[in-house]
Amino acid sequence: MYVFMTNGTVDYLQRLRNQYPNEHMLLVHDGENGLLVHETEGKSVFHEPRSYEVLDAVGSLGGSFVVCNNIPVTDEGRPLFEHRFQQRARLIEKEPGFVAIRVLRPLKSDTYVIMTTWENESAFRRWQQSKAYEKAHEKRGTEKGIDQQQSIFPRPSYVTTYTVIKEG
């Protein structure tokens, strides 16, 4: 499975989504700009998308709040990074308000995306305060934590959040 993303104005992206009613797309915005996410087994309908292979998927993209952890990884670091995500605790899936997760391997860049979708922002914030979040991130900041493997990260990661725009 693949995920393709493109940015633009919300109006433009709504028109684009409406042109492909049989495709699985999620339209989101960050308050200023829109992002259209296309999940498919086939090819992208976008002209110049950011392209990803789905390494792990749970749930169906939806909800009303989306969090993307954008993590640049060196070519040499990809196997270690992917191994760590394959070994993840999988506790997030049991959290109230969790909708979906996608672990996305970039096809044309160095930035992986860990996308989670939630029923609402409050559900995500509760997850951040939970014991399950602590467990999932318990090695962070320690010598065993992937965040301490500086040689595999060419620059800092960053988080982007979005609100889902419902069809209609």
Q: Provide the pLDDT confidence category of residue 147 given band limits of 50, 70 and 90.
A: very low
Per-residue three-class SS string for 131-152: HHHHHHCCCCCCCCCHHHCHHH
As a whole number, mean pLDDT of residues 39-59 equals 95
Give the residue ranges of DSSP H helices in 5-93.
10-19, 78-86
Inform me whether the pLDDT recorded for 40 exceeds 50.
Answer: yes
pLDDT at position 88: 75
Length reported for the chain? 168
Q: Provide the pLDDT confidence category of residue 168 given band limits of 50, 70 and 90.
A: low
pLDDT at position 137: 66
Neighbour tally for 32: CB within 10 Å: 7
Inform me whether the pLDDT recorded for 3 exceeds 50.
Answer: yes
Entry pTM: 0.87
pLDDT at position 145: 45
Q: How is residue 141 annotated by DSSP? A: T
Between the CA atoms of 35, 36, 41 and 44, what dihedral angle is there, to the nearest 10 degrees?
A: -100
**Segments of 9-145 assigned E as strands:** 24-29, 34-40, 50-58, 65-72, 98-106, 111-118
User: In the numeric block, which tokens belong to residue 131?
Assistant: 């014991």
Q: Provide the pLDDT confidence category of residue 101 given band limits of 50, 70 and 90.
A: very high
CATH code for position 17: 3.30.70.100
pLDDT at position 57: 94
User: In the numeric block, which tokens belong to residue 116?
Assistant: 């989670």
Q: What is the mean pLDDT of the chain?
A: 89
Q: How is residue 42 annotated by DSSP? A: S
Domain that holds residue 28: 2-164
Inform me whether the pLDDT recorded for 146 exceeds 70.
Answer: no
Beta-bridge partners for 116: 67, 101
pLDDT at position 150: 61
**What is the rounded radius of gyration, in angstroms, for the C-alpha atoms of the chain?**
16
**C-alpha to C-alpha distance for 105 and 26, rounded to whole angstroms:** 19
Q: What tens digit of pLDDT does each residue of 6-23 get?
A: 999 999 999 999 999 999
Structural domain count, the chain:
1
